């Protein structure tokens, strides 16, 4: 059985036709006015199609590829025929040398887009135009234009292209904050290359986090490969999103589609039109989810915020005093409900801005001031590993019950890990091993008490409640996370 996967809608698409089911035969005969009332709430999309349809465009892309001809004068298919049937391949004259084949343009894919401004700016998905040597935009009146790629942003999957035309019918941009779950929405695009195909459905969810940089709008509108870049339209005829992804086992529509909120896309498009690129803020942390068990064990209560697993050396976060194991709960006064909220908030902050972080550390909240830096292109995370040295380990009675043997860190190890204290795990068995601890891990805190060395480790462990799961802040290489050791009953 194939597993479900996230699919960008990148190729040609089948039109989806909604069939209205008649309910009259299933109901008793009622007065005419009652029947009219029963169907009054059903949506009619005809006016919306007439209103918004001319603003939706078809986008074809071409890419340059090397000619398939070979030095022997045969293409790859013919060569494969000779190989498959064991026939000798005609020899190339010795005096001839293979010549570099000329490049030719071939169709790459089909997508959708919509007109942002009357002077020819068109918005679409970044993956629609990625790698294209030529972009051709076709309007509903069948006029075709070669488009120039103004800029694209892979993180949000938004791109802007420009065609040389004026007096074009631009879309109206809606307010995503007014969009409600259950509200009817419509899509227009080119599924499987079928231009100007209209599908409709409802908003299934908002702020859907799929691991991408943005909070998607989830709908049940029929979206297929080729719909990418087309608009998601509300009943007021306003664009509220860009259709971007589907959730599918087969590669085709299965009832779950995702659209980029138009407010996020507009912020990106404005930067692309101004500078051709997108500038984002960064603070230099690696973060993860705060689970319910971890939240309860560290005293946070509600599972919210972003758990800091690593802090980049020399980053704004390190300079501000952020430490691995901190839970960032607020950014500039705004609560971080899910860990994915933080990169979006920071990314939308102009580099150089002074911002405020609230972190939860060892049972207490702290406010930190931080200067936002700029995301560098193709940035690579720095990694470092602790150098394990053979030092005798120690196991107190309390540690033995957990299956732990630990040792003091050397000054060299502290310096390499850029930490002030902690103890190194020499061996982990029993409950400690079941919790995922292993040799070489560094324990930074036990039950919300900071560990500076063996003495503080034993003291923290001695006063911990052994009837409940004990939380340990563990450093492994450059990453830190909370681990719960559950008592043996």
Residue range 457-478, pLDDT digits in tens? 888 888 888 778 888 888 887 7
Give the pLDDT confidence score for residue 484 in this predicted structure. 87
**Which secondary-structure segment (H or E) carries 342?**
helix 341-347
For the segment(s) 282-374, the CATH number from 3.40.50.300, 2.60.120.40, 2.30.42.10, 2.30.110.10 is: 2.30.42.10
Rounded Cα gap, residues 436 and 433, in angstroms: 5
The answer regarding whether domain 397-485 maps to CATH 2.30.42.10 reads yes
Angle at 437 between CA 433 and CA 440, to 5 degrees: 125
CA dihedral 396, 402, 408, 409 (to 10 degrees): 180
pLDDT for the residue numbered 472: 86
CB-based contact 248:254 (threshold 8 Å)? yes
Which CATH number, 1.10.1040.10, 1.10.10.10, 3.40.640.10, 2.40.10.120, labels domain 1-14+44-86+101-278? 2.40.10.120
Query: CA angle 284-288-291, nearest 5°?
Result: 150
Q: Which residues contact 19 (CB under 8 A, 6 or more apart)?
A: none
Confidence (pLDDT) at 433:
82
> Pairing state of beta strands 172-173 and 238-248?
parallel
Contact (Cβ atoms closer than 8 angstroms) between residue 301 and residue 291: no
Q: Does residue 127 carry a catalytic annotation?
A: yes
Task: State the residue for tokens 């000329």.
Answer: 102
**476: phi then psi, degrees, rounded to nearest 5:** -130, 105
Among candidates 411, 410, 440, 413, which has minimal Cα distance to 424?
A: 440
Q: Under a CB-based contact definition with an 8 Å cutoff, are residues 61 and 132 in contact?
A: yes
Catalytic pick among 153, 157, 341, 441? 157
d(CA 395, CA 50): 77
Residues in the chain where the model's pLDDT stays below 70:
1-41, 65-107, 210-213, 248-252, 377-397, 487-489
Mark out the alpha helices in 121-249 (DSSP H runs). Answer: 126-129
Instruction: For residue 436, give the nearest of 446, 445, 444, 425 by alpha carbon.
Output: 425
Give the side-chain half-sphere CA count within 13 A for 461.
Answer: 27
User: Which of 152, 204, 228, 297 is flagged as catalytic?
Assistant: 228
- Write out the two tokens for 350: 């102009």
CB neighbour list of residue 169: distance below 8 Å, 6 or more residues apart:
54, 55, 115, 118
Helix (H, G, I), strand (E, B) or coil at 27: coil
* All CATH 2.40.10.120 domain ranges in the chain, comma separated: 1-14+44-86+101-278
Q: Is 332 considered catalytic here? A: no
Cβ proximity of 425 and 485 under 8 Å: no
Q: Residue 212 in contact with residue 225, Cβ under 8 Å?
A: no
Distance, CA of 368 to chain centre? 27
Task: Look at the block and give the residue holding tokens 């150089």.
Answer: 352
Alpha helices in 255-406 (DSSP H): 262-275, 292-298, 316-320, 341-347, 397-402
* Residue tagged 């060395």 (tokens): 453
Instruction: From the candidates 8, 11, 127, 315, give the one annotated as an active-site residue.
Output: 127
Given the DSSP bridges, would you call strands 231-234 and 238-248 parallel, antiparallel or unpaired?
A: antiparallel
Q: List where CATH 2.30.42.10 sits in the chain.
A: 282-374, 397-485
Token couple for 237: 């005829």
């Amino acid at each position: 059985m194939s597993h479900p996967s996230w699919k960008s809608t990148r190729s040609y698409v089948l039109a989806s036709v909604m069939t209205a089911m008649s309910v009259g035969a299933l109901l008793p005969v009622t007065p005419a006015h009652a029947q009219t009332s029963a169907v009054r709430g059903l949506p009619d999309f005809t006016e919306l199609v007439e209103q918004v349809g001319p603003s939706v465009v078809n986008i074809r892309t071409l890419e340059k590829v090397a000619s398939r001809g070979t030095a022997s004068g045969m293409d790859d298919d013919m060569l494969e025929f000779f190989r498959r049937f064991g026939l000798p391949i005609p020899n190339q004259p010795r005096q001839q040398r293979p010549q570099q084949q000329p490049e030719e343009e071939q169709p790459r894919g089909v997508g959708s887009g919509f007109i942002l401004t009357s002077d020819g700016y068109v918005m679409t998905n970044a993956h629609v135009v990625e790698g294209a040597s030529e972009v051709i935009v076709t309007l509903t009146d069948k006029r075709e234009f070669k488009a120039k790629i103004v800029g694209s942003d892979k993180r949000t999957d938004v791109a802007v292209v420009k065609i040389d035309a004026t007096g074009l019918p631009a879309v109206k941009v809606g307010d995503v904050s007014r969009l409600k779950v259950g509200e009817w929405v419509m899509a227009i695009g080119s599924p499987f290359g079928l231009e100007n195909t209209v599908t409709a459905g409802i908003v299934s969810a908002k702020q859907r986090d799929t691991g991408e940089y943005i909070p998607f709008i989830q709908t049940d509108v029929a979206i297929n490969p080729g719909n990418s870049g087309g608009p998601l339209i509300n009943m007021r005829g306003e664009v509220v999103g860009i259709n971007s992804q589907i959730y599918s086992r087969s590669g085709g529509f299965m009832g779950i589609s995702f659209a980029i909120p138009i407010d996020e896309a507009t912020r990106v498009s404005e930067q692309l039109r101004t500078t051709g690129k997108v500038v984002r803020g960064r603070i230099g942390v690696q973060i993860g989810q705060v689970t319910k068990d971890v939240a309860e064990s560290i005293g946070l209560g509600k599972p919210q915020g972003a758990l800091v697993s690593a802090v980049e050396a020399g980053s704004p976060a390190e300079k501000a005093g952020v430490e691995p194991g901190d839970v960032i709960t607020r950014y500039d006064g705004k609560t971080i409900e899910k860990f994915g909220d933080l990169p979006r908030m920071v990314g939308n902050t102009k580099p150089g801005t002074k911002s405020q972080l609230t972190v939860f550390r060892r049972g207490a909240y702290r406010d930190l001031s931080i200067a936002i830096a700029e995301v560098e292109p193709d940035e690579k995370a720095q990694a470092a590993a602790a150098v394990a040295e053979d030092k005798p380990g120690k196991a107190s009675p309390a540690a033995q019950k957990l299956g732990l043997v630990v040792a003091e860190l050397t000054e060299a190890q502290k310096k390499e890990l850029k930490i002030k204290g902690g103890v190194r795990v020499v061996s982990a068995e029993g409950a400690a091993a079941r919790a995922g601890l292993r040799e070489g891990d560094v324990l930074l805190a036990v039950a919300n008490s900071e560990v500076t060395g063996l003495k503080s480790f034993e003291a923290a462990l001695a006063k911990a409640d052994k009837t409940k799961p004990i939380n340990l802040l563990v450093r492994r290489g450059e990453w830190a996370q909370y681990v719960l050791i559950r008592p043996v009953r």
